[in-house]
Chains A and B, each alone.
Chain A
Amino acid sequence: MKIGIPRALLYSIYLPLWKTFLEELGHTVILSNHTDQNILDNGVKNCVDDACLPVKIFHGHVTALAGRTDIILIPRLVSVYPGEFICPKFIGLPEMIKHSVPCNPGIIIMNFNARFSMDRGYDGMRNLGRELGATKDLVAQALDRARIRQAEHMRRMEAEPGFNPVRSIDKKDQKPPRLDQGIIGLIGHPYLVYDRYINMNICDKLNERGYGILFPENIPAESVDRACNRYPKKLFWSYGKRLLGSGLCMLENKLVDGLILLTSFGCGIDAFIDELLIRANHREYKIPLTTITLDEHTGQAGFDTRLEAFIDMMEWRSRYDNHVPTYGTGVYPGKSLI
C-alpha cells in the first residue's frame, strides 16, 4: 500500500521511526513535498483561523497528499516521554484533520502515548501494524529495526552540533558551517527551525554571515533536564522543556554568542517557555537575544531586516563589551562540543 506522510510538524524528528516501520511491513512511504506557498495557502484555507501556523501548514501537507496515495498517516502524539505531554494540538490533530480537510483517500491514525512507559508508547504502532494486516512477529521485527534507525537519528542530533535532521532525511550532506564569526543558538520547535520555507531560510542566512548554529536537539537530554531543575515544578511539555532547557544550557555554559527565539504567532507553549528563558537571560546572562514571530503574513523583507539588525547588534556588542565567547567548551566536561 502507498502510505502518505505529511512533511510537517514533528516528522523531522520521528520520520526514521515511522518510515522504517512501514517499509519493513512492506508498504511504500510517500512524503508530501517540502513546504511551499501552495501548501501554505491550502493549509490556511482548510484550517480554523485561530490555529497556529505549523498546524495550518500540516493541513496543507495533507491536502497535498490527497490523490497521490492510498491512505494518509496522521500521527497522534500524546506523549513522547513518560510523565510528559506535548502540545494539546498534537493530541487532537487527527480530529482536526478529519473535520476540516476533505480527505480523500482516508486517513489512518498512529497513536504514540508513552505517558506511562516508553515501551507502552510503541503499542500504538504495534496496533497499527496489526490493523495493516501484518503478523505479530513481523510487527515486532519491523519495530525493532525502526527503533534502531530512530536511535541513530537521535544520537546524531545530540552528537553533531548543527546537525540538520531534514538534510539527513533528504540524504544531503551536513554542510560544515563556517564558524569564524561565532555560534548562534536557534531556539524553536523542530517544525520552525528545520523548515526552511517557514523560517525564511534563516539557517543559510546565518551561515552566510559566518555563524554556526546550535539547535535545541543538539543539547543532551540530561543537560536539558538539569537546566530545568531550577523551576519548582517539573515542566510537563517535552518540547517546551527541550526548548527552555537547551536555551538555559547554552546560556549557562556560554555555548553561544546570541540566541534567536523562533516562535509562531499564537503558540501557547512558547508564550510561557520564551518568557521564562527571556527572564532568566535578562537576570543572569545578558547575552544578545531576540524573538522572531512567524505567521502566514511574515514577509521576507521585514524578516531579513530584523535578522540583520540583530546580527549587527551582536557584533557591535562583542566588539565593545570585550565579550569573549568560549567556543568548543563542552556541555559536560571532558567532551568537546565542537
Chain B
Amino acid sequence: MTITFPHMGQVYIPVKALFDDLGVPVVVPPPVSNKTLEIGTRIAPEMACLPMKINLGNYIQSMEKGADTIVLTGSCGPCRFGYYGIVEQEILRDQGYHAEIIILDAPGRDPRDLLRKIRKISGNSPWKNIIRAFIQASKIVEQTDKLQGIFLRKRPRELNKGQTDDLQSRFEKQILQCRGSKEVMRLIRSFQVKADGIPERADANPLRIGLVGEIYTLIEPYVNLNIEYKLGYLGAEVHRGITIADWVKTHLSMDRKYKKQRKEKLKKGANYLNLCIGGHAWETIASTVDYADAGMDGVIQILPFGCMPEIVAESIIPSISRNRSLPVMTLTVDELTGEAGYLTRLEAFVDLLSQKKGTVYE
C-alpha cells in the first residue's frame, strides 16, 4: 500500500509527516501545475468544480509515481465536495486505474467505520502510535499556519524586495526532504525564526485586504494564481480567515470548543445570512462583515466557476459592501483564467483602495 492524497496548499506537510511517522509509504503529488490541470480537465466532467479537476490530476500524477491508495476526506452535503470521491472513483475506473479511494467522512452517529478506515491507512499500527502521529500532525498544522502568517505579514513590509519569497521557496524545497514529524517541526521552527528576522521598512503602512471565498481556492496558490504573493507585491497585507487548521477542525475533528467559537463568529453575518448553505458561504459572509468591523481597506471574494454556495454569497456581498462602504471585488477562476487579466484586476482594485485610503487620511 502506497498512499497519496490531493493537494491543497500546504496540507501535504502535516499529511506526509503523519504517514512517515506511521511508517506507511506515501507519495506527495507533484506540485500542482498546468500539467496537473490538463490531466484533470481531460477526464473530469466539464462542469465539475475546479478543485475536483485538480484532485484528479494529482492522483494520476501520484499513481505514475507508484501510489495505489488515495485518501481524501468527505462530507455529507449539501455541497458537491461530499460526493467527489464517488465520482472520482468512477472516472478513474473507466480510465483503467485501479487505485482504491478511501474517503474519510466526518464521524456521524457511528464512528466505527471511520476508525476502521484510519486503522487501514495506518498500516494497522497500534492505536497508541496512530494517536501520537495525529497529535504531532495537528501541531504541524498549527505551526505551518503560523509560518504562513509571518510570510503574509512580511511580504508587503520587507525592506529588500523578494526576500520573503526567497525564504518561502527555500522552505518549500527543504520541507520535502524531511522525514517524520520531528524533522518537520524543527525545520518549521527554524524558518519561523528566519522569517521573523526579515527586516521591515520603517515607514511601511500597507493596505489591509481580507480574502474570503471557497476554501480550496483560498488555500491552493496554483488555483488562485498566487493571489497572496501578488497582493503582497502590490503592497497589501493579506488576511485570510480560513486556514488549513480551520479546515481540519471543521471536517475531521470533534473539537466542541472550536465548533462553538466558529458559531460565534458566524453570528456576525446573521443579518445577511443565518444558516449553513453548504461549502463555506456562511464563513464568507461572516468574515466579510468581520473584516468591515476590523476596518480593513477592502475584501476580495474568490471562487471557482460554478461554485454553488459562493454564488449565493456573491449575490449578498454587494449589500454588505454598500452598507459598510467596504470595497469588495469578486474573482471567479476557472481553467481558462489568464494571468494577465487577473493581475490587471488586482492592480486596479489595489489602486482604488489606496486612493480611498489617501483621501481618508488627508
Cross-chain pair count, CB within 8 angstroms: 119
Check B47–A268 contact: CB distance below 8 A.
yes
Check A233–B83 contact: CB distance below 8 A.
yes
Bound Cα distance from A211 to B168, whole angstroms: 64
Q: Is A215 located at the chain interface by the 8 A CB criterion?
A: no
Check B83–A275 contact: CB distance below 8 A.
no
Check B83–A99 contact: CB distance below 8 A.
no
Check A272–B48 contact: CB distance below 8 A.
yes
Which residues of chain B from 260 to 289 have any CB-CB distance to chain A below 8 Å in the complex?
272-273, 275-279, 281
Check A92–B273 contact: CB distance below 8 A.
yes
Contacts of A282 in B (CB 8 A): 94
Bound Cα distance from A271 to B89, whole angstroms: 15
Check A88–B278 contact: CB distance below 8 A.
yes
B102 CB, nearest partner CB in chain A, Å: 11
A88-B279, A92-B309, A271-B45 are contacts. A236–B332 as well, Cβ < 8 Å? no
* Residue picked from A85, A235, A265, most chain B C-beta under 10 Å: A85
Check B77–A84 contact: CB distance below 8 A.
yes
Check B308–A88 contact: CB distance below 8 A.
yes
Contacts of B237 in A (CB 8 A): none
- Which interface class (under 10, 10 to 19, 20 to 34, 35 or more) fits B? 35 or more
B295 CB, nearest partner CB in chain A, Å: 23
A50-B311, A233-B83, A276-B90 are contacts. A88–B277 as well, Cβ < 8 Å? yes
Check B78–A237 contact: CB distance below 8 A.
yes
- Which interface class (under 10, 10 to 19, 20 to 34, 35 or more) fits A? 35 or more
Please name the residue on chain A nearest to B101 by beta carbon. Answer: A232
Beta-carbon contacts of B303-324 to A below 8 Å, as 1s and 0s?
1011111011111101100000
Check A92–B281 contact: CB distance below 8 A.
yes
A88-B279, A232-B86 are contacts. A274–B306 as well, Cβ < 8 Å? no
Q: Is B85 located at the chain interface by the 8 A CB criterion?
A: yes
Contacts of B305 in A (CB 8 A): 50, 266
Which residues of chain A from 261 to 275 have any CB-CB distance to chain B below 8 Å in the complex?
263, 265-272, 274-275
B109 CB, nearest partner CB in chain A, Å: 11
Beta-carbon contacts of A296-317 to B below 8 Å, as 1s and 0s?
0000000000000000000000
A50-B332, A51-B315, A100-B315 are contacts. A272–B45 as well, Cβ < 8 Å? yes
Check B315–A274 contact: CB distance below 8 A.
no
Check A48–B87 contact: CB distance below 8 A.
no
Contacts of B307 in A (CB 8 A): 268
Please name the residue on chain B nearest to A268 by beta carbon. Answer: B308
Beta-carbon contacts of A242-286 to B below 8 Å, as 1s and 0s?
000000000000000000000101111111101110010011000
Check A283–B94 contact: CB distance below 8 A.
yes
| 30 pairs of residues in contact across A and B, judged by CB atoms under 8 Å | A47-B315, A48-B315, A50-B303, A50-B305, A51-B311, A78-B275, A85-B78, A85-B278, A88-B279, A88-B309, A89-B312, A91-B277, A91-B312, A96-B312, A99-B315, A99-B318, A232-B86, A236-B77, A263-B47, A266-B47, A266-B306, A267-B47, A267-B306, A271-B46, A271-B48, A272-B45, A272-B83, A275-B48, A276-B90, A279-B94
**B residues in contact (CB < 8 Å) with A:** 45-49, 74, 76-80, 82-83, 85-87, 89-91, 94, 103, 272-273, 275-279, 281, 303, 305-309, 311-316, 318-319, 332
Per CB-CB distance, the 8 closest pairs between chain A and chain B, nearest first, are A92-B312, A271-B47, A85-B78, A88-B278, A236-B77, A91-B277, A275-B45, A92-B277
